[in-house]
Each structure stands twice: as C-alpha cells, then as structure tokens.
Amino acid sequence: MPLSVLDLTPARRDRLRACFVDDKIDALVVTSFTNVTYLTGFTGDDSALLLTRDRAIVISDGRYTTQLEHECPDLEIHIRPVGQPLMPGIAEISAKLGVTRLGFEASSLTVAEHLKLAEVLKTIELGPTYDRVEALRLIKDEFEVDAIRAAARSAERGFAMLRAGLRLDDSESAVADMLESYMRRCGAVSASFPPIIAVGVRAALPHARPMPDVKVGDDDFVLVDWGASTRPFPYKSDLTRVLVTGNVTPKFEKIYRVVLAAQLRGIAAIRPGVTGREVDAEARSVVEEAGFGDFFQHGLGHGLGLDIHEAPRLRKESETVLRPGMVVTVEPGIYFPDWGGIRIEDDILVTPNGHEVLTNVPKELETVRV
C-alpha cells in the first residue's frame, strides 16, 4: 500500500521530541500552521500542537471537530470552549499536564502572543526554540516527494493548456487568472502563489504583479513564473519560463542562452555533500563570465515543500550541505530595468547519487515561441 501521511507523522513527532533535552524543555507548543500540518496531517488553521514526551494534543476550536476526527484519528484533540482564544487554551492544557518548561517556536509566536501566554502561565517557564521543525522538513520523505511530483504535473499541464490558447491581446492579469484555473482543472487545489506574468520590460521585476492594461503582444517576450499546490496536503511546485511572442533579437538570444547555460550548470552541480554556496557559484560563474554578473542580483534558488520558500537556500553565503531528500529550485536570472529580464526555473531533488529534475517543461530557445 502507498504511504499515507498518518504513517509518517508519529516518527516526525518523535524526531522533534529528541530535541527536548538540548532545548531544556519538557513540552513544545507548535503554533506555525504549516508545522502543525507537517507533524499531524491536520490541514486547518487557528490551531496548535502541544507535544510532550508522551502525548500529542491538537488544540483547536469547534469549527474543526469533524475535520480533526477525520484527519488526525490517532491524536488527542482539545476543542476550546466558544470564546476562548488560542493562547489561554494552550495555557490551560499545559497547566493540566504539569508542564514546567514550555518551549515555543520563536519564529512563529508573535510578541503579543508570547506576552499573553506568559501572563496566563504564572508557574510555567517559557523557552524559545529555533527552526526545530523546519530542520526536519529539510529532508523530504517518499510521501512528500510524491506530493511535489504531483504539484509539478499539475503545473506543467496547466501551463500546456495556457500555451495552447494564449493570444497576443490577453492581458497579464487575464493570463494569470487562466493559468490558475487551468492548474485547478489539472488537479491542483490552488496556485502555489499568485502567478507572475510579466511582459517585456516588466520582466525586469522578479516579483512583478500582473497588470490588466498590459497585453502579451505589447513586447517580444513574456515571463511566466507559476506553480501548483496539491491536495489535500499543500505541497508546492515552482517553475519559470520565458515565452517568445514576437522577434528573437540578438540581445534576447544572447541573454537567454546565458541564463539557460547557467541553470544547466547549477543543476549539474547538485549532489550530496556540496554546499548551497558552491551550487550558486557554479551557475553564477556562467553569468559573470558572460559579463552580466551585476544583473543577477538574487540567490540561485530555495527549498520548497509545504511552503513555497523554505530551507535550504542556494545563495552566496549558504553553507548548508545538500543531502538526499532535499528539494530545491534552480532559477538564475538576468535583469535590465530598461529592457526586461529572463529567468528559467526548475525543481530539483537531491538523490543519493546526484539529483533528479522533477519538472519537465521545454526550455530550449527553439521550443519557447508561442
């Protein structure tokens, strides 16, 4: 039988418990909704996981009673009374369990929430923890890799549908709407993020917002950055392609070929044991040797999974050593404010013997004309 998330979450929680000694805590409250999903399989929000050495309790509210029973049949559930906020609910259960030092996620809990928790927990010491669950999420298991593969397939099929019907008088915003709709029709629950559709000079903006008054045919090329999110667990894919809608000018061809060569060099460098910095340097050297180093001003890539941007990072200062099971993007880009930009992006799995490219959309210059 294929793995289900319920087969995997107990071991994830046990690995997290192994950090209790170093963090000097006897329980941990997980408040990041993404981390709660990873540790329990629960896909709702406004909830927390209280993890002790021998118990795991999801603290939620009545809206999620049935959903929790379905998604987390192996866990204890505490449904807060109507009107009780989350922090007092966490405090109530912690006190009942006799917790003496409660860890919390420093990057998730707000200052206001910390103050509220400290106010209610008079006899329990609070201790910050840092990126404990995120460290577990670095290495994807078989279930997670399969989910990312599914997200990639939905994104690829949705993009193929878009290309088949793309018209020069379509606006950037209309293209973004169509692409998201097509991905849903191809199995996605949603887009990973609002699609980036950037025509011509606007492609110099790495995070351009699609505009209703800019048409695909207003320039010679359009950059499309998109991804799909799976169901029921929202694992992500992330791709970028540049489509030619007009003339292939000598400048466009030169820059496009440099970016593609840089991407292929970066992908080829991915294997266990290398650092994110080393992979970034491989791709960046291609851009620099071509004389465009000043116009590639972001990192080469990032991890992805339940979040569209997560660890590890492929960038100049990254000393993270790549290990099998990590999934990263490779997305070099060259941008000129008065001309536009070209970026090419794929999703890569680190394997025991090297890497596997999880995304498969044509990117050779000869294949990207609309």
pLDDT digits (tens, 9 = 90+) for 56-84: 999 999 999 999 999 999 899 999 999 89
What are the residues whose beta carbons fall under 8 Å from the beta carbon of 296, sequence distance 6 or more? 262, 284, 287, 288, 332, 333, 334, 335
Give the chain's mean pLDDT.
96
Q: How confident is the model at residue 2 (pLDDT cuts 50, 70, 90)?
A: low
For residue 130, the model assigns a pLDDT of 97
Least confident of 12-21, 86-95, 207-216, 339-348: 86-95
What are the residues whose beta carbons fall under 8 Å from the beta carbon of 119, sequence distance 6 or more? none
For residue 103, the model assigns a pLDDT of 97
pLDDT over 70 (residue 42): yes
At 123-150, the pLDDT tens digits run: 899 999 999 999 999 999 999 999 999 9
Q: How confident is the model at residue 232 (pLDDT cuts 50, 70, 90)?
A: confident
Tokens of 195: 């699609």
Place of tokens 């006897």: 26
**Residue 218: which region, alpha, beta or left (left: phi > 0; alpha: psi -120 to 50)?**
alpha
Q: How far apart are CA 343 and CA 200, in angstroms?
A: 12
Domain regions of the chain by residue span: 5-137, 142-367
pLDDT over 80 (residue 6): no
Q: How many CB atoms lie within 10 A of CB 24?
A: 11
What are the residues whose beta carbons fall under 8 Å from the beta carbon of 56, sequence distance 6 or more? 13, 39, 40, 49, 50, 75, 76
Q: What is the mean pLDDT of residues 148-156?
A: 98
pTM: 0.95
Residues in the chain: 370
Least confident of 87-91, 256-260, 262-266, 303-307: 87-91
pLDDT over 60 (residue 361): yes
Domain 5-137: give its CATH code: 3.40.350.10
At 319-330, the pLDDT tens digits run: 999 999 999 999
What are the residues whose beta carbons fall under 8 Å from the beta carbon of 5, sequence distance 6 or more? 41, 143, 233
% of the chain surpassing 90 pLDDT: 95
Q: What is the mean pLDDT of residues 191-206?
A: 98
C-alpha distance across the termini of the chain, in Å: 42
For residue 3, the model assigns a pLDDT of 59
Task: Assign domain 142-367 to its CATH superfamily.
Answer: Creatinase/methionine aminopeptidase superfamily (3.90.230.10)
What are the residues whose beta carbons fall under 8 Å from the beta carbon of 11, sequence distance 6 or more? none
Place of tokens 């997670």: 144
For residue 1, the model assigns a pLDDT of 42
Alpha helices in the chain (DSSP H): 5-17, 20-23, 33-40, 65-71, 86-96, 111-120, 132-137, 142-165, 172-185, 250-268, 276-289
3-state class (DSSP) for residue 28:
strand
pLDDT over 80 (residue 236): yes
